[in-house]
Amino acid sequence: MKIYLTIILVALIGEFLVRSWVRYLNLRAMTPDLPSEFEGFYNAQEYRQSQQYTRAKTKLAYFSSTVSLVVALALILGGGFNLLDTFVRSFGLLPIPTGLIFFGLLFLANDWLSLPFTLYNTFVIEARFGFNKTTILTFVIDKLKSYLLSLVIGAILLSAILYFFQRLGGLAWLYAWGLVIILTVLAPPIFTTLIAPLFNKFTPLEDGALKTSIRDYTERVQFPLRDLFVMDGSRRSAHANAYFTGFGNQKRIVLFDTLIEKHSVEELVAVIAHEVGHYKKKHLLKGMVLSIVHSGVLFYLLSLFIDNRSLFDAFRMDQISVYAGLIFFGLLYSPIEFALSIGMHALSRQHEYQADAYAVRTLGIAETLILALKNLSVANLGNLTPHPINVTLNYSHPPVLQRITAMRQLIAE
């Protein structure tokens, strides 16, 4: 019992301390000196505002992570999980519905715990810096929709996993892994066709210079583009983005309306070229394969610990259950997950460099993508000087200045 409890407590407190230290380093890395690369894009006041935005988000992260840690420690050391388990068992239901209630109550408790911070971020910080476009009504409707999706999709998936581990013995992890593989493959088209339209409106990109330029580029590089859509991102935020989804010859590119408003046709084509680079380099496929391998290892390890009496004793549980075992194993596994996330972020940053290089080579020029990245960073009040350790731990994309340097070196070769 002591070894499992020690691992979990050290992991929770250790990660909290590391992330807090990195946030401190990140704030210390900011200086009032504007990088020369961004001269003419930021004036002094705008640059100060970008740093104030980073400070405001960091302070909120400090506070929210502290509250989360305190609550987690109280639950573990105070026997909160056992109290919840005793409560859900009092209904006298079968194991699977009991597990669903157990998870549902934990999900709601976690969501409601984070709600004040989400509200503050959306309606105070994002509003203060001119990003928030979400109304209270939209926020509430989005929340209800997310609850409904969690209820339907989450209940089905969780019920299947609970069934596998309760009834199929040593082969349960293989069945659970197979289910996750199917979901990993089906998730992108399901999200694109069924889930995303519940939250945003997607309209075909109108005929014109932008559509023609994108079509010309994708045809030239033989990218199987089927649809070009504009998403009403401005309904909720002034932040801008773009992405593509789909398999085979069913590729769909989605541009936020906020992205179109703030960038020239040439810049937008460069952004698309970067996204096409991910496809050409098979980054999405590699990511999917890694995710599948990771889930297989995860479920195998889960099968070794899911009914471990000592693990349940660490949480002061009276009875063993599959549903509680899922939660406890997740906490025990968190140090490994933390280490793996560092490696995945590093791989993701490498992929971003490769996609940039592809865009530069196929466009024949780096300046349009560089200009797009600069304007994106300014529009989003991005932190131009993140601390290297913060990048290592948290960045899936390289800092913008490093991306620009890499592209300039590529052209110089």
- The residues assigned a catalytic role are 275, 356
Structure tokens at 265: 């046709």
Distance of CA 394 to the CA centre of its chain: 11
Strand partners, 229: 204, 254
Strand partners, 251: 225
Distance of alpha carbon 305 from alpha carbon 312, whole angstroms: 10
Structure tokens at 6: 């020690």
Distance of alpha carbon 346 from alpha carbon 340, whole angstroms: 10
155: left (phi over 0), alpha (psi -120 to 50) or beta: alpha
| HSE (side-chain half, CA atoms, 13 Å) at 375 | 20
Distance of alpha carbon 193 from alpha carbon 190, whole angstroms: 5
Residue type, position 97, single letter: P
Distance of alpha carbon 257 from alpha carbon 240, whole angstroms: 8
